[in-house]
Amino acid sequence: MAHYHLQSFFRVPVGADFVKFTIKTTAPEKLETGLLALCVFTDGVFPLPYNAIDKASQGRLSALVSAGELNKKAGACLLLHGLAGVAAERILLVSLGEFASFGDKAWRDALASVGKALADTLAEDAAIALEEIALPPERDFVWALRHASRIIADHAYRFDAPRAKQDSAKRGARKIAFLLASEPDPAQKEALLHGKAIAEGMALAKDLANLGANVCTPTMLAETALDLGKQFGFDVDVLERADMEKLGMGALLAVARGAAQPPKFIVMHYRGGKKGDKARKNGKTPAHPIVLVGKGVTFDSGGISLKPGAEMDEMKYDMCGAASVIGAVKAIALMDLPLDVIVLVPATENMPGGGASRPGDVVRSMSGQTIEILNTDAEGRLILCDALSYAERFTPDCVIDIATLTGACVVALGRIPSGLLSTDDALAEELTQCGLNSGDRVWRLPLWDDYQELLKSNFADMANIGGRFGGAITGAAFLSRFAKAYKWAHLDIAGTAWLSGDAKGATGRPLPLLGEFLIARAKQREH
């Protein structure tokens, strides 16, 4: 079998690695740059950078805003060329909406519009003026720089699809400055680096997910993990089918039986905690790491319970959980966070081959619990349950699994938040708050014991589905049976991991949420 390496298969000419960020304190009207983005309220409240440019241009900006040239909706833009009295070649006016209703969403919408404009501009360099009055209530420049750099770099991402004729057009600002009124402090400089690191992790996650399943196989996921380990100096173990058989991972192997591609179980050991730890000196992961588990079904046909043909191509995205945790490791390493993190990726295809599992089969999981497979398309929980059992050996501080688990979650919540289910209230609240801070929001669904009754089986300890209703909840209820030894949370990203239609492509979620969570945990460790 041919082994494809991510970077040799396609180029990434514009992405998080390509954009360079700096911080400048030059007067807005004197800043020489290809494009200067100015945020403005549309109800008469004007930030200082806007006022400086307006004064230098003899009131040109205020005249345009007063005339209604700038749409009042947050994120609306107006591009001006060659504004008299101003050193910048272009001025991009960006609406923040009305000051009275200004908040996180309006700010993110405005920055997203800036990101789109910078990704499409002919200017090679650009600047974004940030001013305290134009920050959402109770937000500071540390928060703003981390999220602005992540949003801008993420919008610069472009998947360079393998085509016979490549697009040679060079668009997009390569050097981007954030314009502040005073010199940044160390925390603000760090925030800028953190935002870019999260965007780079998102870019890797999107690269992996957007590749066809003929290229992004379980083997390629393993190769990518090994390459990251070599690049950043952490250990990676790749368990083969025989290793999984020895461990008794009967649930994972039941999914892999119908596929020609060999399954892989990937273990990434990031050791960034206290350097004097004895376990670390011996090359082992210290006790109580954070464990991230990502569902890695590189293509999900549904198996014998075959999916409908329409939009089945999007089932290459059934490994977005795996892509997100692999991207998270890259982000953690780039940020050099003082954390111990284990990443587990059970990776396989789910195919309807001659050896595939059938509805009615009973398999034994690594935990010893038996499972009656009533629907082979409920495969994600089968590979995750063995990974959750494997996580016990690390005596984790907490375990978070990320999976495109159920269409039921999309029906329940739409494509705005990811679903959150947890057996630990404190961990659930922590993730919820990190979602609000990052804009990568989650919504908690109940996980009451009543739902366990729906998983009853006459022929095994449990069934792998719980009937027609509450599918996102019964999927998590199933997983909870394998996560009793530690604090655990489950993120169902089936509605948020990718977009369909003309904008089809991976989103990189929930990496912003994970990045926020890991940064907050690192700061807790420091104190």
Burial of 59 per CB tally in 10 Å (0-12, 13-18, 19+): exposed
279-293 core/surface letters (b: 16 or more CB in 10 A; e: else): ebeeeebbeebbbbb
**Is position 307 annotated as part of the catalytic site?**
yes
Does 215 map to a domain? Answer: no
Cβ of 399: how many Cβ atoms within 10 Å?
A: 26
Q: Could you tell me if 482 and 351 lie in one domain?
A: yes
Q: Any idea what DSSP says for residue 21?
A: E
Answer yes or no: do 286 and 152 share one domain: no
Q: Which residues pair with 418 in a beta bridge?
A: 442
189 and 244 inside one domain: no
Residue 51: domain span:
6-195
> Domain end: 134, 168, 195, which one?
195
Strand partners, 372: 362, 463
- Examine residue 97 and state whether it is found in any structural domain, yes or no: yes
pLDDT of residue 283: 63
373 close to 360: Cβ distance less than 8 angstroms: yes
How far apart (Å, rounded) are the C-alpha atoms in residues 322 and 506?
A: 13
Per-residue pLDDT of the chain (527 residues), as tens digits, is 233 344 444 333 334 456 899 999 999 999 999 999 999 998 878 899 999 999 999 999 999 999 999 999 999 999 999 999 999 999 999 999 999 999 999 999 999 999 999 999 999 999 999 998 899 999 999 999 999 999 999 999 988 777 777 666 678 999 999 999 999 999 999 999 999 999 999 999 999 999 999 999 999 999 999 999 999 999 999 999 999 999 999 999 999 999 999 999 999 999 997 665 655 556 666 779 999 999 999 999 999 999 999 999 999 999 999 999 999 999 999 999 999 999 999 999 999 999 999 999 999 999 999 999 999 999 999 999 999 999 999 999 999 999 999 999 999 999 999 999 999 999 999 999 999 999 999 999 999 999 999 999 999 999 999 999 999 999 999 999 999 999 999 999 999 999 999 999 999 999 999 999 999 999 998 76
Q: Which of 162, 270, 271, 262 is nearest to 222 (CA)?
A: 262
Per the document, the length of the chain is: 527
Is there a domain that residue 211 lies in?
Answer: no
User: At 372, which CATH number?
Assistant: 3.40.630.10
pLDDT at 168: 61
* Pair (145, 258) in one structural domain: no
Q: Is residue 454 domain-shared with residue 384, that is, in the same domain?
A: yes
The pLDDT, as a whole number, for residue 280 is 57
Check whether residue 239 and residue 174 sit in a common domain: no
In a domain, residue 230? The reply is: no
Examine the domain organization and report whether 91 and 140 are in the same domain.
Answer: yes
- Residue 205 covered by a domain: no
Tell me which amino acid residue 270 is: Y
Q: Is 55 a catalytic residue?
A: no
Q: Which residues contact 223 (CB under 8 A, 6 or more apart)?
A: 3, 5, 6
Last residue in a domain, options 195, 215, 249: 195
Together in a domain, 300 and 429: yes
Co-location of 163 and 240 in the same domain: no
**141 in a structural domain:** yes
- Rounded Cα distance between 173 and 119, Å, is 6
C-alpha Rg value of the chain to the nearest Å: 24
Q: What is the CATH number of the domain that holds 53?
A: 3.40.220.10
| Total domains in the fold of the chain | 2
Q: Which residue has the tokens 């400086």?
A: 52
Nearest one of 359, 381, 371, 390 to 475, comparing CA atoms: 381
What pLDDT sits at residue 275? Answer: 61
Q: Are residues 519 and 460 in the same domain?
A: yes
CA atoms within 13 A on the CB side of 373: 28
Query: Which is catalytic among the residues 72, 139, 241, 307?
Result: 307
The verdict on 191 and 242 lying in the same domain is no
Question: What is d(CA 99, CA 298) in angstroms, rounded to the nearest whole number?
Answer: 46
Statement to judge: residues 47 and 181 lie in one domain: yes
DSSP 8-state secondary structure symbol assigned to residue 15? S
Write down the catalytic residue from 158, 271, 330, 381.
381
